[in-house]
Amino acid sequence: MLIQFKVANYRSIGDEQIISFVPAMAQKEHQENILKSGKNNALNVLAFYGRNASGKSNLLNAMSLLDKMINESIRSTSTTKLPFDPFLLREGYNNKPTKLEITFVNEENLRYRYGFSYNESNILKEWLYRKSVGREVYLFEREGDIIDLSSGFTGSKKLFEAAIEATRDNALFLSTCDMLNIKEAQTILKWFEKYFMIDGLNQKDDLRTVRLFESKKYNKEIVNYLESLNLDLIDIQIVEEDFEKDKLPNMLSRNLNNELLKKIGDNKLFNVYSSHHIYNVNGDLTNKTFSWDFANRESSGTQKIFKISGPVIWALFKGGVLIMDEMEAAMHPIMTLSVIDLFLDPKTNPKKAQLIFATHDTNLLSYAKLRRDQICFAEKNKWESTELYYLSDFVYFEERNGQNFKSEKERPDSDKEKRYFEGRYGAIPLLGEFHLKMQQNLWPEEEN
């Protein structure tokens, strides 16, 4: 169960921003949206809104980046550069480290807080804390070459000494501990197996769904899910093929040809086919079917639904954390709402999966059963750095006798979509008056 994520000095994010799944104390609506694990509570869904270029994608990418760095740390070499991409629009930030931190609860109801800071070449700091009953205790703290281990971090002394010796300047100590089979480190990394991000704009990124089709359990549920959406599909077939070099286009340069061959290697290629009913000359249903290439013949919306169906079913089965950017891209609003409802409904989400997504679909503000603390806004501040705030933070004031007095927080039954369009929450585009230039004929003369 994800509790909190922090990021600082990454792309459009200057100062530290906090993505929090912790329910706001004063919010009483939709109590069913709160997941419970021992004494820990967390929300099942978070929705991000903001204008284009507000930094929504960077916030979500930072969440994925932490996972990638943990998994790739051991496979890198001593000369591998770290993915250091700091905020560049304020003096001095290019010399500051990037910071990532995550807090989560595992299946044993142990709460961990893990994070690190780094620059292009080195992991500068790294820390791991655990909380079960009572206060939080540190398991290790790292600063530069010094790694301070707590006796609470269970494992062999010899293995810990080997892990400290083996940890490179550009590698994570936690990942090294996992490589050396230190049990608690393995337990922590096991939690990240339930952590996955997809990009809603990348229609071709459907490998996760294809691979899940190989499992009978997932295959059946994915097909059932697609059938429930009435997409006129009878079945989906996945056909694996051996890669043949002569399938590459002739116009590719030798260098590009060799690069593609290197990446593909011995991997299998796959083709997806969908089956549809055939009707007779009178338009009546027959027992015949026709299969065609899914990518070439199905709509972009159907392809998008197929792409996300695997990760959605996987997250619900595993009780995982699914991160989705541009969720509504190519999908009807009702389809988008149906995906969110799967995570909101305890009947379809018994394993306590969580969904965090970025969207421009304002219909969800009216029709999704989201609490105010589940609606987040991303906005740029005066120095163009991304800041994050929540609808539950809003407090209205009223003027009495020339003075401002605190009135009340945003009401649960307010028309959130209307208020968002009115600009009451911010995080909307502020368009210039381009149309006035056309009306005033301020265009330059066309050159001959």
Q: Where are the domains of the chain?
A: 1-201+326-448, 205-317
Q: 402 versus 233: which is more confidently predicted?
A: 233
Q: What is the pLDDT of residues 150-180, one digit of tens each?
A: 989 988 889 999 999 999 999 999 999 999 9
Token pair belonging to 301: 């919306």
pLDDT tens-digit readout, 99-121: 999 999 999 999 999 999 999 99
Contact 362/352 with Cβ under 8 angstroms?
A: no
> Measuring CA to CA, which residue among 88, 104, 116, 89 is closest to residue 7?
116
| Predicted confidence (pLDDT) at residue 195 exceeds the cutoff of 60 | yes
pTM of the model: 0.87
- Among 222, 323, 318, residue whose Cα is nearest residue 272: 222
Q: What is the pLDDT of residues 361-387, one digit of tens each?
A: 999 999 999 999 999 999 999 999 999
**Whether 2 contacts 354, CB under 8 Å:** yes
Q: Could you give the CA distance from residue 140 to residue 127 in angstroms, rounded to a whole number?
A: 6
Strands 386-390 and 375-380: antiparallel
Higher pLDDT, 275 or 215: 275
Q: Point out the least confidently predicted range of 32-36, 55-59, 262-266, 423-427.
A: 262-266
The residue behind tokens 């903001």 is 50
Residue 238 pLDDT level (bands cut at 50, 70, 90): confident
Give every CB contact of residue 212 below 8 A, 6+ residues apart in sequence. Answer: 218, 219, 222, 310, 313, 314
- DSSP-based three-state secondary structure for 308: helix
Tokens of 127: 């820390």
Using pLDDT thresholds of 50, 70 and 90, give the confidence band for residue 264: low
